[in-house]
A and B are shown apart, each in its own frame.
Chain A
Amino acid sequence: MSNGIPLEQARQAYRIDLKRPLRPSAIDNQKLLQDFHPDYANNSHAALKVGVNCNDPCHPQLVALLQSNSATNEAMLATATQIESDVLVIGSGGAGCSAALIAAENGANVLIATKLRAGDSNTVMAEGGIQASIEDNDTPQAHFDETLKAGHHCSDKRLVEQMVLDGPDVIQWLIQQGMQFDRDGEGNLCTRRAGGTSADRVLYYHDYTGLEMMRVLRESVRQHNRITTYDYSPAVELLSNKDGHCSGALLYSIETQQYTIVKAKSVILASGGLGRMHLNGFPTSNHVGATGDGLVLAYRLGAQLQTLDSFQYHPTGLAWPQTLAGTLITEGIRSAGAQLVNSSGKRFIDELAPRDVVSAAIMRECAEGRGIRLESGRQGVWLDIPTLEKQQPGRLAQAFPKFIALCNKADIDPYRSPLLICPTLHYQNGGVVINEACETTIPGLYCAGEVSGGIHGKNRIMGNALLEIISFGRRAGAAAAARHPPSDSQLLLDHLKAFRHEIKSNHIASNTQGPLLFPHYASFSRRGT
Chain B
Amino acid sequence: MTHTATPNSSIEITVNGTRLSVSANHSLIQALWKTGHPNFKSASCLEGVCGSCRIMVKYHDQPDVSMALACQSRVEAEMQVVFPQYLEKQSSTLLNHRYQLQLSSESEQQLKRTFPEAAHCRHCHGCTVACPKGIDVEQGVKLANEGKLAAAGDLFINCVMCDLCSTSCPEDIAPNYVALFARRTSAFNQPTPPNLANRLQALQRGELKIKY
Contact = CB atoms under 8 A, between A and B. Distances in A.
B49 A208 contact: yes
Contacts of B199: 132-134, 168
Interface string A107-143: 0000000001101110011000000111110011100
Q: How large is the interface on B (under 10, 10 to 19, 20 to 34, 35 or more residues)?
A: 35 or more
B50 A124 contact: yes
B52 A120 contact: yes
A401 B46 contact: no
A179 B157 contact: no
Given A165-B210, A402-B49, 7 more contacts: A140-B208, A183-B190, A219-B180, A225-B98, A323-B30, A327-B47, A521-B34
A254 B39 CA distance: 10
Interface in A235-271: 254-255
B155 to A, nearest CB: 13
Interface of B: 1-3, 7, 25-27, 30, 33-34, 36, 38-41, 43-52, 72, 74, 86, 89, 95, 97-99, 101, 157-161, 177, 180, 183-188, 190-196, 198-200, 203, 208-212
Interface string A127-163: 0000011111001110010000000000001000100
Given A165-B210, A208-B157, A124 B41 contact: no
Contact of B208 (A165, A169, A175): A165
B190 A178 contact: no
Contacts of B7: 322
B49 A124 contact: yes
Given A136-B195, A183-B190, A411-B3, A178 B183 contact: yes
B203 A175 contact: no
A178 to B, nearest CB: 3
Given A141-B210, A211-B49, A187 B190 contact: yes
Contacts of B50: 117, 119-121, 124-125, 287
A145 to B, nearest CB: 8
B47 A172 contact: no
Nearest to A143: B210
B44 A219 contact: no
Interface string A4-15: 000000000000
B196 A219 contact: no
Given A136-B198, A180-B183, A215-B161, A521 B45 contact: no
Given A117-B86, A208-B157, A157 B212 contact: yes
B47 A289 contact: no
B161 to A, nearest CB: 6
Interface of A: 116-117, 119-121, 124-125, 132-136, 139-141, 144, 157, 161, 164-165, 168-169, 171-172, 175-181, 183, 186-189, 191, 206, 208, 210-211, 215-216, 218-219, 222-223, 225, 229, 232, 254-255, 287-289, 321-323, 327-328, 401-402, 405-406, 409, 411, 518, 521-524
A409 B72 contact: yes
Contacts of A179: 184, 187
Nearest to A375: B7
Contact of A218 (B49, B161, B198, B208): B161
A375 B186 CA distance: 50
Contacts of A402: 47-49
Contacts of A140: 203, 208, 210
Given A188-B195, A411-B3, A125 B210 contact: no
A222 B46 contact: no
A189 B40 contact: no
B211 A289 contact: no
A323 B25 contact: yes
Contact of B188 (A175, A401, A522): A175
Nearest to A145: B212
7 contacts: A120-B52, A140-B203, A180-B187, A187-B190, A219-B184, A401-B158, A411-B2
Nearest to B100: A223
A461 to B, nearest CB: 17
A154 to B, nearest CB: 14
A139 B208 CA distance: 7
A411 B209 CA distance: 50
A242 B82 CA distance: 49
Nearest to B189: A178
A176 B52 CA distance: 27
B195 A524 contact: no
Contacts of B45: 120, 124-125, 287-288
Given A134-B195, A187-B190, A125 B47 contact: yes
Nearest to A157: B212
A187 B38 contact: no
A401 B185 CA distance: 23
A254 B44 CA distance: 14
Nearest first, the 9 closest Cβ-Cβ pairs linking A and B are: A178-B184, A120-B44, A134-B199, A188-B195, A161-B210, A189-B193, A180-B187, A523-B36, A168-B199
Contact of B193 (A119, A183, A222): A183
Contacts of A180: 183, 186-187
B47 A134 contact: no
A180 B27 CA distance: 32
Contacts of B98: 223, 225
Nearest to A521: B33
Contacts of A522: 33, 38-40, 43
A222 B98 CA distance: 9
